[in-house]
Chain A
Amino acid sequence: KAGVTQTPRYLIKTRGQQVTLSCSPISGHRSVSWYQQTPGQGLQFLFEYFSETQRNKGNFPGRFSGRQFSNSRSEMNVSTLELGDSALYLCASSLALRRNDEQYFGPGTRLTVT
C-alpha cells in the first residue's frame, strides 16, 4: 500500500507570495492533518480534515488555510508569506475511526521564504 505523498518536496518563495501544498493520504484514510515543523517551535498542529470538513484548527493566523477533497486528498494554502513561514510542512493521514488511530506521516514539503 502506498504511503502518504506530498508535493512538492521543496519550494522556494518570496515574501508576500502565496503557496499551495498538496497531500495524498494512504488509500482508505479519511483524515488528513497538517503540521508545521520549525527549529524554534518544533512540531505544531495546523488543522485536521475529515470527510471534507475541518474538524480542528491549531493556533495559526488566518493566512493558513486548507481544504479536503472528496477523494480525501488535501491542500493547504499560505497567503502573504512571511520569512517565519519557512518550515517543513508535514501531512499525516489516519483512518480516524478511533481516537487512538495512529497517524502516518508523509515526507514533508520544505518551504523556504526569502
Chain B
Amino acid sequence: AQKVTQAQTEISVVEKEDVTLDCVYETRDTTYYLFWYKQPPSGELVFLIRRNSFDEQNEISGRYSWNFQKSTSSFNFTITASQVVDSAVYFCALSEADPNDYKLSFGAGTTVTVRA
C-alpha cells in the first residue's frame, strides 16, 4: 500500500503566485517523521524540512511554510510568491519508527512549473 500520496501530479503557476502541495501519509506508528525534498532539473534531491509526529507546530521559513495536521494525516507545503527557480519536483517522504527500517518512503512527487 502506498504510504505517501501526493495527489497532484503537476502544478503550473505564474511567478509570484502561491503554490500549495498536498501530502497525505499512512502509518500505524505513533512515532514517525515527515520530510519534504526538492529535486531540481539537476537531479539532486535537496532536503527542505523534517517534522516528527509529536510536533504539529506549523513552520514558516522565508517563502516556504508547512502545515502538519495529524488528524487528517496531512503534511502540506506552500511556496509563497513563487519564483522561476522554484520549478522542480517536490517529494514528500515518511520515515517510520522501526529501528531496523531506516528508510524513506517517498510519494510520487509533484512537478511545479513557475512561468515568468
Contacts and interface: CB of A to CB of B under 8 A. Distances in A.
B19 interface: no
Nearest to A47: B103
B64 interface: no
A81 interface: no
Most buried by B among A35, A58, A90, A105: A105
Given A99-B33, A100-B95, A105 B45 contact: yes
Contacts, number: 61
Give the bracket for the number of chain B residues in contact with chain A: 20 to 34
Interface SS majority for chain B: loop
B52 A105 contact: no
A15 B106 CA distance: 28
Interface string A80-108: 00000000101010001001101111111
Contacts of B47: 102-105
Interface residues of A, number: 26
18 contacts: A35-B104, A35-B106, A42-B107, A43-B91, A44-B106, A58-B103, A99-B31, A99-B33, A99-B97, A99-B102, A100-B33, A100-B50, A102-B35, A102-B47, A103-B47, A105-B44, A107-B43, A110-B43
